[in-house]
Amino acid sequence: MKKAFNLFDYLKMEHFKKIVISVGEVGLDHASHNELIQSIPVLRSIADTLDLIDSIRNRHLLIKLTIFFEKLYSIPLEDRRRFIDKIAKNQNNLSQQILIYLDRQETNEKAGILANIFTAYLYEKIDYTALVRLMSILDKVVFGDLNILKNEFIRQLESPIEGTQKVWLLGTDYEHLVATGMLIENTGFSLNPSQVNLSAFGLEGEIYEHSQFYVTYLGTKLIKHGLLV
């Protein structure tokens, strides 16, 4: 009987660096499924453990796993081991959750964002509940929208990472982000029209009274810990 897949087993390995070295040697965008797993020993082990057959979906899962591992290599081995030992009770469940979310992401870039969020969790910048909720939000939001929100943080805040002010968005283009948990619609009137240059947002008339949004607490965490690091 095969041992259940646990990504934390790989994160604690001495030779974790070999994954990153191999990533640089293999053209991830051009390598076939078999070339990918044969070139990177750890992926070969993962593919065998998960019984991954040669398919486009599984190839992309392996690429996202590689990106996830590559990001986490920046954490010193001693820190990785210490942090992972702290979450011994949740390791199996969290490993499966991360694997599921990686598999569902529509872009490889989201694997890097997920790794950044997980790093924030390991360094206790967010707790377990926030981690799970952020993974769920990341699963729902389109990658292009994340970049738009990140750019608004940079534009509106002098210190995007340390700033505590709300980030506002005006217009009807952001309504769909409410369902993802990234934004809240402001149903009251809170922006002073005399202080808002509506033309800068491409707005006219009184549309601003019905189309004001601000980034949620968790949305702010996702942007700060996932995209601005």
Tens digit of pLDDT for each residue in 69-119? 888 888 888 998 898 888 888 888 998 899 999 999 999 999 999 999 999
Residue reference for tokens 């943080």: 153
Can you tell me the distance from the alpha carbon of 170 to that of 73, in angstroms, rounded to the nearest whole number? 39
- Do 156 and 216 lie in one domain? The reply is yes
- Do 43 and 133 lie in one domain? The reply is yes
| Domain boundary pick from 124, 139, 154 | 139
* Domain region containing 188: 143-227
Q: State whether residue 216 is helix, strand or coil.
A: coil
- Do 175 and 107 lie in one domain? The reply is no
Split at pLDDT 50, 70, 90, the class of 17 is low
Can you tell me the distance from the alpha carbon of 226 to that of 116, in angstroms, rounded to the nearest whole number? 5
Can you tell me the distance from the alpha carbon of 1 to that of 54, in angstroms, rounded to the nearest whole number? 22
DSSP state of 192: -
| Domain boundary pick from 114, 139, 164 | 139
Split at pLDDT 50, 70, 90, the class of 194 is very low
Domain count within the chain: 2
Can you tell me the distance from the alpha carbon of 191 to that of 210, in angstroms, rounded to the nearest whole number? 11
Q: CA angle, corner 92, sides to 100 and 29, nearest 5? A: 40
**Average per-residue pLDDT in the chain?**
79
Domain contains 49: yes
- Do 150 and 126 lie in one domain? The reply is no
Domain contains 1: no
